[in-house]
Amino acid sequence: MSDTMDVLEEKANGGPSMDIIDDLVSVRDHEAFAAKHMPDLGHDVKDFQVYTWRISRWKSLDKRLTSPDFECGGHKWRILLFPFGNSNAPPNDTVSVYLDYADPKKSPEGWHACAQFALVISNPQDPTIFTVSHAHHRFIAEECDWGFTRFSELRKLFNIQEGHSRPTIEDETADVTVYVRVLEDPTGVLWHNFVNYDSKKETGYVGLKNQGATCYMNSLLQSLFCTRYFRKAVYQIPTEDEHPTESVPLALQRVFYHLQTSDQPVGTTELTKSFGWKSFDSDQQHDVQEFNRVLQDKLETKMKGTKAEGAISKLFVGKMKSYIKCVNVDYESSVFEDFNDISLNVKGMKNLHESFKDYVAVEMMEGENKYQAEGFGLQDAKKGILFQSFPPVLHLQLKRFEYDIQRDAMAKINDRHEFPFEIDLAEFLDEDADRSQSWNYKLHGVLVHSGDRYGGHYFALIKPDRETRWLKFDDDKVTPVTDREVLEENFGGEPLNGIAPPLQRNQVRAMKRFTNAYMLVYVRESAIDEILSPWKDEDTPAHLKRRLEDERLQIEAKKREREEQHLFLTAKVITDDTFARHEGFDLATFDEKNWPPSELPSFRVLKQETYSTFKSRVASHFNVPENKIRLWVLVNRQNKTVRPDTHIPENEPTLTVEVIRNNMAARQNDLRLYLDIIPDPSKPEPPAGSIMIFLKHFDTAKQTLFGIGKEYVSRNSKVQDLHSLINERMRWAPGTPLKLFEEIKPGMIELMKQKHTFAQSEIQDGDVICFQVEHSEKEIHDIEAQSLYSNPIQFYDFLQNRVMIIFRPKFEEPDHDHPEFSLILSKKQNYDMMSQKAGEFLRHDPIKLRFTTTHATNGSAKSVLKRSLNQSIQEIMVPSYVNPTTTVILYEKLDVSIVELETKRSLKIIWTGIHNKEEASYPFLLPKTSSVHDLADHLAKQVTLTTGGTGKIRVFEVSKDGKFQKEFTGSEMIGNIPEPVELYAEVWQRYFIPKSDKFNFVKQEIPRDELEADETTKVISVFHFNREVARTHGVPFRFVVRPGEKFADTKKRLQTRIGVSDKDFAKYKFALIQVATFKQPSYIEDEDTIYDHKFAPEDVLGLEHIDRSGRARMAGEKAIVIRG
């Protein structure tokens, strides 16, 4: 019996027990009873059966009973009853009853059955007295019984309940009935728990891993992957010499290749890194349409000059015509433009056909709204849009989100909106369009958004080709779906099957209201065979296959290595060369907290490999005769040093490396060895009575401490005997005075007594002796006066406290003027020393450097370091559990002293000039007591104002929705203006790319007509948008409208105001955005007089045109930027 029985009451698909039933429906009236107590779940019924089991002498029953088997839907079932509760229920207090799949062991492997059922205990004499509970479940081998552990309290069944004349169990007798509907499961995944589900096996496709909030990206990538012509075009971009994290085409090729070949979900981290995204960018959900446009623009650029050039246009670009056609004279004004997708209204539209009709709806220009036709004067006219052509792959954006001006936020439209599997778009074409082939389109993909304006989840429904069924691509899972799941369940709004039953159905409906289609992909039927043609092996570039196959083999080798790791150990070998390059304690660094381990030659060795075999490998690796090497085992001493202790015996041929590790280096996971080169192979053993010591030289001039080598010395010789040996090895003059120190352990470096013997000094094999040339008192004073170390004790203290700090530019990408670099500092040093050393490296005045700590998890800026505190490096360092060996600090190269910054405020001004364009940015450092008016005066000295203009400057912020200016009066003290990170993050990004988190203003020169505006004129707000009112860009501005002025003349002044060429200005559209009718913009004609409009405070004039900066966005949304 499965454990799932015990917790069923907590599961959503189990209905509650109904002890008292008001409507008298008999358990024996099967159809009526099922209609009342088994809600329609929306699935086809394969079979329906009812089975009743009479139970007598209830109080004498066994603890567990099963009914005879019965059949339903080709499966055998039975009732499983615990008359007094099963083991997990209170004893003798509860009845437990389940539907049990009979003898699952005899069923074929991988069997399952989807059943909806109701379990009933009723009075045999009066079948209208009963207790019932219903549920549904996918029965599988691991969960072959399902039901109700606490079906009912026993006393309620034995006692007469209110409104009844009999108890349910009367004279210890009752009927236990089960109603079973076995449901069709056309997809094979109905109510699947997806434990051990294999997408590749079930569908032939695999999913994409979600990095945090990248489901919107995953759904689009799967759609593009299944658009096989697009996949081929991406593969045609040359990428042989590129790196995946720096090349969008290569990273996308790799994702597509893995989707083709992998049997596991594919990661997208490489791809997002190629976009230039950090980890926090992957946690930001974005608009699918915007991401699609940005990605296609990037790929189109990369395709230029390659075989793939033009593929994006061929696949996704259509052409439309905006026209105004006179009714009574032969005159038409039209503009043609390309489109990559079409945004269709959902609100007020019943279906896709109505949305298209709305898009091309003709607007009559008549009466007071007549059109001024060139050469014909005022004329009645028709205004509208017609399509010249649709692309082979048509992306339709359903406008499920709209900007709510009153709430200053986006709102989701969950209205029902139907779309078909097939649509003929010929009726929406211009009469001159090519109709030689059908304009019939087949539905290829549905991108779905489930959630509300605050967030949610994206997934894709795709039909990859004519033969393949519809599939659901939901991040890492791919599952088959029914036609109903493609259409009806994504129309949004209320379901059409009438009033849903209570209980669990309410929950299902509530979810459906927020799950609906957001983007549709249609493929022209005549182009399907080309666009979705079967994939051939030669369609995948050979260089990509080779590269990824090599990587696959490497991954498999590493996997095998991990799986077999228990059979191996790692041997790390210290040589005289590695010792000579080592600057630190011992012979090498292994486990030091604040310093990376030494890079040592390593060997992966089978634990059972004999020492003689291993020694031969080592000799061969270092190209040394085998009889000239001796290997010493390093051990962890009690004083926390790691030193050579004993050499491995040569006379035990069966000795294995595991025995050596276990017996000679017991407290180590790996084997650490020192390679001792024997000068005379005829004397393989160390000299009798000798000690192997290691020598290090501390060079006061270079401030370095490096290994010199090893020496065998007699235990009874004196320490001073080393002097002549060292002088000879260092090629110093005989008699050069030396000081010798023993490196006992970190923090304990002691001057050795020259006349003691090595035995008296307790020197043993593997000990380290450090030497330096002896200096006079004056020399020592001069050395220390330069903040240098005069002896090894001081330098060892530095080594014990040294840390590596990485410095990165705070706002710029690393370059020649702003490099990324690292410094080795002591934790005992302070801010001033760090600043001095950083200044020396950067060749920049240390007092003009500002430092900021970082978050260890993602490297983002944390807090500015204050020089006045002069903290120690220990205090500055941020504890990191990710990589404890390094700390990252951001730096800024300032033009002023950071001392000044304590009394001044750093500001950056974006100057837009008279033409509402971002001309330049100007940094200022002013006393915090300065006013915004003072700031304007300083700017006026740096910018060129219009000759004959007002000479006045306005300082303002931009509203969050990008539509209004929020002007400063000029009297505000700049030190009192709130810090900008919260205030400006979105506003700044709406129209420029931030370079710092300093406070940022926008400034404009005030036009003369605005300054001189009187009570007969109006000053209105004007903003820029592209296609959708919420997709704003540029800098909003104020503009004077005059009484009686036709909009044709207003436009001329607008063109002058923003400084746009005639060619570009001809493509502009103009709309009035009103609070009262914020749902749709009201487009303005040349004969309109906008002065006559009664402007509410939040009414604005919108200029609709393409954003040339590429920085458009939805209100409150961060822009998508792809840099790779």
Secondary structure (3-state) at 657: helix
Residue 660's closest CA among 649, 676, 651? 649
Amino acid at 298: K
Could you tell me which of 546, 561, 418, 585 has the C-alpha nearest to residue 490?
418
Q: Are 205 and 263 in contact (CB under 8 A)?
A: no
Triad 964, 965, 968: Cα angle to 5°: 155
Residue 904 in contact with residue 924, Cβ under 8 Å?
no
Spatial CB neighbours of 895, under 8 Å, sequence gap ≥ 6: 848, 923, 925
Taking the C-alpha atoms of residue 277 and residue 862, their distance in angstroms, rounded to an integer, is: 19
457 has catalytic annotation: yes
**Which amino acid type is present at position 169?**
I
Q: Is the Cβ–Cβ distance between 999 and 925 less than 8 Å? A: no
Which of 30, 164, 353, 457 is the catalytic position? 457
Tokens standing for residue 968: 């400063």
1048: helix, coil or strand? helix
- CA distance to 160, 922, 953, 957, per residue, from 969 (Å): 81, 20, 11, 12
**Pick the catalytic residue: 72, 114, 144, 215?**
215
HSE-up of 763 (CA within 13 Å, CB side)?
Answer: 34
What is the DSSP code (8-state) at residue 1117?
A: -
Residue 1059 is encoded by which pair of tokens?
A: 């400084």
CB 464 within 8 A of CB 478: no
- Per the structure block, which two tokens stand in for 52? 């009743």
Q: Are 1028 and 399 in contact (CB under 8 A)?
A: yes
For residues 1041 and 1089, give the distance between their C-alpha atoms in angstroms, rounded to a whole number. Answer: 9
- Tokens linked to 491: 């129309």
847 phi/psi in degrees, rounded to 5:
-70, -10
- Residue 647: closest CA among 666, 634, 662: 634
In 3D, which of 504, 510, 513 has the Cα closest to residue 41?
A: 504
Return the structure tokens found at 838: 């950083």
103, 112 in Cβ contact below 8 A? no
> In degrees, to the nearest 5, what angle opens at C-alpha 58 toward C-alphas 55 and 59?
170
Task: Report the distance separating Cα 941 and Cα 107, nearest Å.
Answer: 89
Q: Confirm if 154 and 230 have CB atoms less than 8 A apart.
A: no
Measured CA to CA, the distance from residue 934 to residue 907 in angstroms comes to 12
Q: Helices 215-226 and 228-235 meet at what angle, rounded to 10?
A: 90
For residue 1021, list its beta bridge partners: 1038, 1100
Active site includes 144?
no
- Closest C-alpha to 227, from 337, 318, 314, 352: 314
Q: Given strand 1100-1104, what is the order of strands in its sheet?
A: 1082-1083, 1069-1073, 1100-1104, 1018-1026, 1028-1041, 1113-1114
Count the neighbouring beta carbons within 10 Å of the beta carbon of residue 177: 23
- Least Cα distance to 145 among 234, 239, 81 occurs for 81
Residues with a known catalytic role: 215, 457
